[in-house]
């Protein structure tokens, strides 16, 4: 297989972006009427639907924590979302791993002590896959949690960055991801700059790490602006309607 040229001589990436440029982000909240909170998010062609139910009565008595809520995450990939159509079983280890990443990301940020003995369910569904699923899932889950009125100390904004051929690049798409690129996903609390998740599956030279991380951090801050606008618009809209 001939190698794809990921970075053109002019310094443009395969989809025409510059290295430090995010894909187009589209986001809405309250897309599902039955869920307590929901959000739909697009990072370019990656599309995610997040639904949050709860805090509600815990379904499994054995798992109940008497001083705080348990967070339960389910992650699913639609069979039609990827290039090759493939049905995944519910116990697919990749899916469970992804769910546990999201769970670990939110446990320190959601103020679970307010909701003792209850359960918060987060359901994530990938509708179209074009790279950066983890970042899209975390961002969508943040918005759905806020939409459900669940207390969080801050937003959680996630972004990926990687080393594409000779430069650090942000928000990798599927082609860049799948051709041996080192990729780091960072989830950050934009107010304090604290990092709640950092995930990397391939090797990256330590000299390049700092550049990649700072680029991912920049991406998180940009994500925060976009998400905050959507959330604020929705809150202002509801407040204005109720003021009538």
Partner 1 sequence: MSEIAFYSPVPRSSNSKAKSKGNHSNDNDMDLDEMISSVAKNSSTSATLHVVTPGEVITTDSAYMRGHGTYVENEKVLSSVAGVVDRVNKLISVRPLHTRYNGEIGDVVVGRITEVAQKRWKVDLNSRSDAILMLSSVNLPGGVQRRKQESDELQMRNFFMEGDLVVAEVQSFFTDGAYSIHTRSLKYGKLRNGSFLEVAPALVQRCKSHFHSLACGVDLILGLNGYIWVSAHVPQNLDEIDTEQVYSNKNKEDITVQDREAIARVANCIRALAAEFIFINDTIISFAYEASLQHKLKDMTKKEIMHQIATEAVDAVENMKG
Q: Which of residues 18-57 bind partner 1 (CB under 8 A)?
A: 30, 36-37, 54-57
Contact 26, 121 (CB under 8 A): no
Q: Which two tokens stand for residue 3?
A: 């190698």
Q: Which of 42, 130, 147, 183 binds partner 1 (CB under 8 A)?
A: 147
CA proximity to 138, closest of 103, 162, 113, 172:
103
Q: Which of 48, 137, 146, 170 binds partner 1 (CB under 8 A)?
A: 146
In the complex, the smallest distance separating the C-beta of residue 118 from partner 1, rounded to whole angstroms, is 5
**Residue number, 11 or 193, with CB nearest to partner 1:** 193
Q: Which of 24, 66, 90, 203 binds partner 1 (CB under 8 A)?
A: 66
**Residue number, 36 or 171, with CB nearest to partner 1:** 36
Q: What are phi and psi of 234, to 5 degrees?
A: -65, -45
In the complex, the smallest distance separating the C-beta of residue 161 from partner 1, rounded to whole angstroms, is 23
62 binds partner 1 (CB under 8 A): no
Tell me if the bond preceding 152 is cis, omega within 30° of 0: no
132 binds partner 1 (CB under 8 A): no
Residue 152 DSSP symbol: B
Side-chain-facing half-sphere of 16: CA atoms under 13 Å: 2
Q: Which of residues 71-130 bind partner 1 (CB under 8 A)?
A: 111, 115-118
Side-chain-facing half-sphere of 9: CA atoms under 13 Å: 0
Residue 13 DSSP symbol: B
Element (H, E) at 212: helix 206-243
63 binds partner 1 (CB under 8 A): no
With 0-12 CB in 10 A as exposed, 13-18 as middle and 19+ as buried, what is 54? Answer: buried
State the Cα–Cα distance between residues 137 and 50, nearest whole angstrom: 7
Q: Which of 15, 92, 154, 165 binds partner 1 (CB under 8 A)?
A: 154
12 binds partner 1 (CB under 8 A): no
Q: Which of 152, 175, 200, 204 binds partner 1 (CB under 8 A)?
A: 152
State the Cα–Cα distance between residues 56 and 183, nearest whole angstrom: 37
Q: Which of 42, 155, 186, 199 binds partner 1 (CB under 8 A)?
A: 155
In the complex, the smallest distance separating the C-beta of residue 38 from partner 1, rounded to whole angstroms, is 10
Interacting residue ranges for partner 1, rule: CB under 8 A: 30, 36-37, 54-58, 66, 69, 111, 115-118, 146-155, 189-191, 228, 231-232, 234-236, 238-244
């Amino acid at each position: 297989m001939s190698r794809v040229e990921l970075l053109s001589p002019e310094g443009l990436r395969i989809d025409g972006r510059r290295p430090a440029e995010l894909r187009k982000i589209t986001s809405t909240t309250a897309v599902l009427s039955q869920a307590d909170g929901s959000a739909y998010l697009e990072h370019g062609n990656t599309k995610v639907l997040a639904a949050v139910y709860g805090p509600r009565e815990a379904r499994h008595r054995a798992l109940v924590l008497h001083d705080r809520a348990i967070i339960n995450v389910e992650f699913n990939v639609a069979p039609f979302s990827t290039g090759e159509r493939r049905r995944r079983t519910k116990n697919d280890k990749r899916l469970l791993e992804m769910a546990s990443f999201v769970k670990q990301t939110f446990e320190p940020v959601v103020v679970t002590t307010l909701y003792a003995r209850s359960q918060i369910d987060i359901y994530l569904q990938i509708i179209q896959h074009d790279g950066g699923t983890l970042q899209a899932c975390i961002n969508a889950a943040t918005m759905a949690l806020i939409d459900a009125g669940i207390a969080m100390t801050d937003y959680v904004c996630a972004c990926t960055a990687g080393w594409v051929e000779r430069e650090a690049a942000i928000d990798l798409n599927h082609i860049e991801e799948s051709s041996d690129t080192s990729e780091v996903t960072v989830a950050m609390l934009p107010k304090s700059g604290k990092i709640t998740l950092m995930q990397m599956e391939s090797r990256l030279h330590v000299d390049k790490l700092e550049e990649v991380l700072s680029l991912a951090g920049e991406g998180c801050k940009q994500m925060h602006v976009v998400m905050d606008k959507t959330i604020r618009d929705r809150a202002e809209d509801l407040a204005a309607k109720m003021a009538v």
